[in-house]
Structure 1
Amino acid sequence: MMRTRPHKKRYPIAVAVLSTLLAISGISSPSWAGTTLEQIQQTGILRAGTRTDALPFAYVNAEGEWVGFSIDLLERIRMQLEQELSRPVQLELVEVTPRDRLSSVAQGEVDLVCESASFTFNRSRFVDFSIGFFKTGTQFLVRRDVQLNSGEFRVGIIPSSTNASAAQGYLRVAEFVRIPDRATGVLEMDAGRIDALASDGILLEGMRQSLDDADTYALIPQTPIAPEVYSCILQQDNLDFREIVDRSLVSFMSGFLNNNPPEVAIFDRWFGDDGVVPSDRDFLQSFFQETVESYQERLNNQQPDPIQEEPDAAE
């Protein structure tokens, strides 16, 4: 029930006034009419943007397969949509990058993006976000054999990333070098042009473990300097679709918390002791618990008050 295709070209901007406003942030207006659910109901296709280089969330493995934790979550969202819409739904994966993922959603090129994108208030001006499904934070990848000199500390940062802002606020005396991606950062580090690479800790650890000389590198500090919560990116004003996505993500987290085999198997495949990127189980379990409780509280607050019968009027 899944197929992949190349990333589409952007559609023309339909509304001049809105496009002018969104162009300030490089985002254009939607290219089709109708809600996301209406589109999926009509086509039977869930168009999902994701990454090819964000191990363990979405990447291409040695067999050429598109895999990852967020790919598994997208499959669960697809199944949830089939139940809600009472029709078959096919998952179509589309490659996106940090540079175009927001515009891809805002323009309607994809229905949602699920990978390693963090919620920020600035981004929420243009797109909507699901509940969070993973928590990490900014850390630095360094070579163990390099002596760090605080006066000449050069840090590779990816422009416009949340990690760049966090690193610049944390290391005020460092020199910051702009790099296009984490893979380039490792090459720059090995060439001695930077001393550290700033990114999300889980992504740096995933990349470190994929290297032939993984033990040459280390992550610092042990505790991330700034929290990051990953969420799916959605179009604004599609509350019914967002609720289905949220319900699917909560179902996964609740299943894991209740030790249901299917959900535990997914978690262990990516983050267990023998997983692709072993992670702190207790930390993530606490995050899942907080997220599920917050979601339930939100639902309770949306419930209408019980109808109170007014006393009969006096005769």
Structure 2
Amino acid sequence: MKALRSFLCAAPLLAALATQAQDADSSPSNPGPQALTGTLAQVRASGSIALAYRDSSVPFSYLDARGQPIGYSIELCKSLVRAVEAAVQRPLQIRWVPVTPATRMQAIISGQADLECGSTTSNLERQKSVAFSPTIFVAGTRLLVRKGEGLRDWRDLAHKKVAVTAGTTNEQVMRRLSQRLRIPMVIVVAPDHAQAFALVESGGADAFATDDVLLHGLVAQTPGAARRLAVVGELLSYEPYAIMFRRGDPQLAKLVTDSLRLLARDGEIDRQYRRWFLQKLPGSQQRLNLPMSAQLEAIVQSLAAAQVE
């Protein structure tokens, strides 16, 4: 019954995407499968599409108890895959490609993955190398600390060990903070979020600096962590998340943007947000209880109001 309800909710959107793809066959500005280029041509020829995922970016992209990628970004990417299938007029097999913050951009640039479905910030520096979808979430850098040790914000980090994840904007934020404000903190670089989190739990680091929503997700997924750990401090950065894909691919860029506009208009983005941020996480009794921010609400409303050509 749950699967049937999900299908019925998605049916209007899939119909719109299919109609759009059919219209593309007869429109010179929207070529059909015979005139596809870039990623769309490649996936049509191969019958598969490669999605990059993360294993510990709760609730965006992580592994369930069976080792399968799940999460908010994963579900939005699956909707994009359905739009690609409509555009290329054939079913596609999903190939899952594991990435870390340090390897995710190269996976897209090299063609190892076609879409990156994680918790990646879109910024001007990265846009020189890769392309991004419209914003799907807004986060900011905060600190995870052990309760009862007197750490409340960045001002308390002098001579403390601060864990960061390699290849993240949060690492850059903390290094700039240390240099500009002359705070002699020790930056400890971990290869992924799970290991940085473990450093704080074990006492190997005094704090873990990353996006606040990821910290809340890690705490929610770890039994007993809410009693031991706290997310503290003011926001130290603005992190607009987006889905990453290759630059110089106008057909894919248009499909991604138009599809997210339709997902916003259909209410699917809002439904997926409620599922992953307000309801119990799959396989867990925990929930994040993070209402949609005013910034993200405005972005989704803008997407819904935008014209899809």
Normalising TM by the smaller chain, what interval?
0.7 to 0.9
Q: Which residue of 2 aligns with 1:13?
A: none
CA, structure 1 residues 212+66, in 2 after alignment: closer, same or farther (shift >3 Å)?
A: same
Q: Which has the higher helix share?
A: 2
Give CA deviations for 1:6-58 in whole Å, capped at 9, x if unaligned.
xxxxxxxxxxxxxxxxxxxxxxxxxxxx5111112222222111112211111
For 1:130-279, what aligned pairs fall within 5 Å after superposition? 130-148=133-151, 149-171=156-178, 172=181, 173=183, 174-214=185-225, 215-221=227-233, 223-256=234-267, 263-275=269-281, 277-279=287-289
Residue 159 of structure 1, CA deviation: 3.3
Separation of aligned partners in 2, 1:124 and 1:111: 16
Residue 251 of structure 1, CA deviation: 2.2
Residue 217 of structure 1, CA deviation: 0.6
Residue 220 of structure 1, CA deviation: 1.1
For the 8 Å contact 1:142–1:218, the answer to whether it is kept is: yes
Residue 289 of structure 1 aligns to which amino acid in structure 2? A
Q: Which has the larger radius of gyration?
A: 1
Separation of aligned partners in 1, 2:84 and 2:58: 26
SS in 2 for 1:131: coil
For the 8 Å contact 1:205–1:277, the answer to whether it is kept is: no
Are 1:75 and 2:78 counterparts?
A: yes
Separation of aligned partners in 1, 2:125 and 2:292: 31
Give CA deviations for 1:112-135 in whole Å, capped at 9, x if unaligned.
212111112222221111111111
Separation of aligned partners in 1, 2:157 and 2:99: 36
For 1:90-129, what aligned pairs fall within 5 Å after superposition? 90-129=93-132
Residue 49 of structure 2 aligns to which amino acid in structure 1? L
Q: 1:290 aligns with which of 288, 296, 299?
A: 299
Q: Which residue of 1 aligns with 2:25?
A: none
Residue 144 of structure 1, CA deviation: 0.6
For the 8 Å contact 2:135–2:299, the answer to whether it is kept is: no
> Could you tell me the percent identity over the aligned residues?
25
Are 1:63 and 2:66 counterparts?
A: yes
Separation of aligned partners in 2, 1:83 and 1:190: 46
Give CA deviations for 1:195-228 in whole Å, capped at 9, x if unaligned.
100011111111111112222111012x422110
Residue 161 of structure 1, CA deviation: 1.6
CA RMSD, 1 decimal = 2.4
For the 8 Å contact 1:133–1:288, the answer to whether it is kept is: no
Structure 2 residue ranges without an equivalent (≥5)? 1-36
SS in 1 for 2:248: coil
Separation of aligned partners in 1, 2:80 and 2:126: 23
